[in-house]
Amino acid sequence: MPVAYAQENPYLVAERPFVGGGLTVRITDLEDANNSLTNQITDESSSFGISPTYGKFISNRWAVGVSLSITSTDEKRISIQNGSTRTSINNRTTIGITPFFRRFIPITERFGAFLQPQLSYAYQIGSIEDKFSDPSDPANNTGSSFINQGHRIGLGMIGGLYYFINRHFSLETNLLDLNFAYNIENRENTNSSAPPDNDRESSWSNLQINLINQLRLNQIIVFNYYF
């Protein structure tokens, strides 16, 4: 008696490797329009990140891999109140590594969803500067600067949709980001005249759930190449 076998998806094949990459770009320039001419707040920020990925199928619908990430962020806030000006500048660079499993859930031959449980580690280093100036009372002008270093360990899951443009290229979009993370941060004052008690070490944990229902410039866009 002949035995019928279900046809395997030609795009999701065991032992097939793939490489990919994500790109994140965010640029904002906001001014608080509710303030008067003598009270204004301006926020400027930009962020750029890349995340190259390598993976390989261990079965017809399961893959394992690792993703690296490098992100650079610059933020600046200028607050003017009654002639005095406070300027805050925050620059930081984050480097991370994320091993993962991925489960593909095909809906059609080319299109489907995926779930990706993962473990991540990230190292962050940056600087913070804060300056206050009052032309009417220069004696009150102050400034401070710090160097921040941090470590972040996370356990989470992302999910989204994929579409194979052809046999070798696919496009993905992320719709779910669930992450529990533990953070450690060290702050060191770089002002030689500042008291040493301004240095500090802190730690905290947080749970994040992000649901994305539209494509925006500050969301990741991922392209993969399958060998």
CA pair distance 160, 116, nearest whole angstrom:
9
Stretch 51-64: mean pLDDT, rounded?
93
Strand partners, 180: 155, 207
Confidence of residue 26 (pLDDT cuts 50, 70, 90): confident
The dihedral built from the CA positions of residue 116, 182, 213 and 19, taken in this order, carries a sign that is: negative
Domain extent listing, the chain: 17-226
The rounded distance, in Å, linking the Cα atoms of 95 and 198 is 26
pLDDT over 90 (residue 151)? yes
17-226 carries CATH number 2.40.160: yes
Burial 14-25 (b: 16+ CB within 10 A, else e): eeeebebbbebe
pLDDT tens digits, one per residue of 167-212: 999 998 888 888 899 999 888 887 755 555 567 778 878 877 776 5
**Does the pLDDT of residue 55 top 70, yes or no?**
yes
